[in-house]
């Protein structure tokens, strides 16, 4: 018993599902999605099997309407279900069973469906649709705007407890880490949408770091990245550092390594020293990254960058245990 939406970004082809409920860990039951296939939201008197089975049918070429009809026909409790399916092209279908607890209903359009049951009023699901259509920013933030609109119209009549968002690629790459664009859950919190927004911001910030680690020649192997790619990567790392806050220095560590690899040694030293002041183990971390193939240069040069200006460089103790 909850409210949710399915949405597709026409610019990127990404497709997602988002949900909020007064129910513990709603993210383990309601949202389902597979890159290149589509997304499913299953709720009300929830039957989770609609998720994997709906995706399986769509993956085999069944249109959402046909897939949902087949699943409902096999379910003796279909009157108590609220289920939405959306294919990767944005085609959507929703079933709101006659026995769903009021207020219950849905809207359906190409690339967007909103659905709710046991909510304050019948204005919840139209408000979600309108909020998504008029919001700006990434698909994740537009979906979040829809969830917040539901709350402004009363939301789940029982209150708030958990939320989740899952966004996948419309066109799969075959690499799960890239095909899942956003996958975050808030299982139990007084303000689950506030926490969901924080997690979305972190997920978007660290998504750039993952791409960097997978780009040959940028942060691994011989340095072959051109100046423009380095500039873009440094800007993403600066953004990530602002998002995660001063206590988490990982983006700054990677920034220092990228600066060092691209020949900007003074800036690299400043980045490393900034990280070391917050987390002294940064020195050990960078040396382990170097031994893993992420520093193609002279080890003595890296030792110098990890040492404060005016202090003698301390060589890497290769006997350091890898714990």
Confidence at residue 177, expressed as pLDDT on a 0 to 100 scale:
79
Confidence at residue 322, expressed as pLDDT on a 0 to 100 scale:
47
**CA-based max dimension of the chain:** 77
35: left (phi over 0), alpha (psi -120 to 50) or beta: beta
Its pTM surpasses 0.85? yes
Q: Is the pLDDT of residue 212 over 90?
A: no
Which of the residue ranges 96-105, 152-161, 171-180 would you say has the lowest mean pLDDT?
171-180
Averaged pLDDT for residues 168-194:
93
Q: Is the pLDDT of residue 82 over 80?
A: yes
Domains plus CATH for the chain?
A: 2-189 (3.60.20.10), 227-306 (1.25.40)
Between residues 121 and 314, the one the model is more confident about: 121
Averaged pLDDT for residues 24-53:
97
Contact in structure between 33 and 58 (CB atoms under 8 Å): no
Q: Is the pLDDT of residue 224 over 80?
A: yes
Confidence at residue 152, expressed as pLDDT on a 0 to 100 scale:
96
Averaged pLDDT for residues 47-51:
97
Confidence at residue 310, expressed as pLDDT on a 0 to 100 scale:
56
Confidence at residue 1, expressed as pLDDT on a 0 to 100 scale:
81
The total of other beta-carbon atoms located within 10 Å of residue 144's CB is 23
Considering the chain, what percentage of its residues have pLDDT values greater than 90?
A: 81
Q: Is the pLDDT of residue 210 over 70?
A: yes
Q: What is the pLDDT of residues 127-137, one digit of tens each?
A: 999 999 999 99
Q: Is the pLDDT of residue 320 over 60?
A: no
Cβ-proximal residues to 201 (8 Å cutoff; 6+ apart), any chain:
243
Between residues 219 and 271, the one the model is more confident about: 271
Confidence of residue 87 (pLDDT cuts 50, 70, 90): very high
Between residues 219 and 14, the one the model is more confident about: 14
Between residues 315 and 170, the one the model is more confident about: 170
SS3 letters across the chain: CCEEEEEECCCCCCEEEEEEECCCCHHHCCEEEECCCEEEEEEECCCCCHHHHHHHHHHCCCCHHHHHHHHHHCCCCHHHEEEEEEECCCCEEEEECCCCCCCCEEEEECCEEEEECCECCCCHHHHHHHHHHHCCCCHHHHHHHHHHHHHHCCCECCCCCEEEEEEECCCCCCCHHHHEEEEEEECCCCCHHHHHHHHHHHHHHHHHHHHHHCCCCCCCCCCCCCHHHHHHHHHHHHHHHHHHCCCCCHHHHHHHHHHHHCCCHHHHHHHHHHHHHHCCCHHHHHHHHHHHHHCCCCHHHHHHHCCCCCCCCCCCCCCCCCC
Phi, psi of 151 (to 5 degrees): -65, -40
Q: Is the pLDDT of residue 277 over 70?
A: yes
């Amino acid at each position: 018993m909850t409210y949710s939406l399915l949405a597709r970004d026409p610019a990127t082809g990404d497709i997602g599902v988002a949900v909020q409920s007064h129910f513990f860990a709603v993210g383990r039951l309601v949202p389902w999605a597979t890159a290149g296939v589509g997304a499913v939201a299953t709720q009300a008197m929830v039957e989770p099997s609609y998720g994997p089975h709906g995706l399986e049918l769509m993956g085999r070429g069944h249109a959402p309407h046909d897939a949902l009809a087949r699943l409902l026909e096999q379910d003796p409790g279909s009157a108590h279900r609220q289920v939405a399916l959306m294919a990767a092209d944005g085609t959507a279908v929703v079933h709101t069973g006659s026995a769903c607890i009021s207020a219950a209903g849905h809207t359906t359009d190409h690339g967007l469906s909103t659905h709710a049951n046991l909510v304050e009023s019948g204005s919840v699901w139209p408000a979600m649709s309108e909020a998504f259509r008029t919001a700006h920013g990434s698909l994740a933030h537009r979906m979040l705007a829809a969830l917040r609109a539901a709350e402004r119209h009363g939301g789940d009549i029982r209150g708030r407890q958990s939320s989740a968002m899952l966004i996948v690629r419309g066109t799969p790459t075959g690499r799960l880490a890239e095909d899942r664009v956003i996958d975050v859950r808030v299982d139990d919190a007084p303000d689950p949408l506030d926490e969901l927004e924080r997690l979305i911001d972190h997920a978007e910030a660290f998504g750039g770091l993952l791409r960097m680690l997978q780009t040959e020649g940028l942060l691994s192997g011989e340095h072959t990245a051109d100046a423009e790619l380095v500039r873009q990567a440094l800007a993403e790392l600066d953004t990530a550092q602002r998002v995660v806050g001063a206590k988490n220095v990982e983006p700054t560590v990677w920034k220092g390594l990228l600066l060092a690899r691209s020949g900007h040694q003074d800036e690299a030293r400043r980045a490393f020293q900034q990280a070391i002041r917050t987390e002294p183990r940064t020195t050990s971390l960078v040396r382990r990254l170097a031994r893993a193939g992420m520093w193609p240069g002279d080890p003595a040069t890296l030792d110098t960058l990890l040492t404060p200006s005016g202090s003698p460089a301390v060589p890497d103790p290769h006997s350091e245990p890898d714990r």
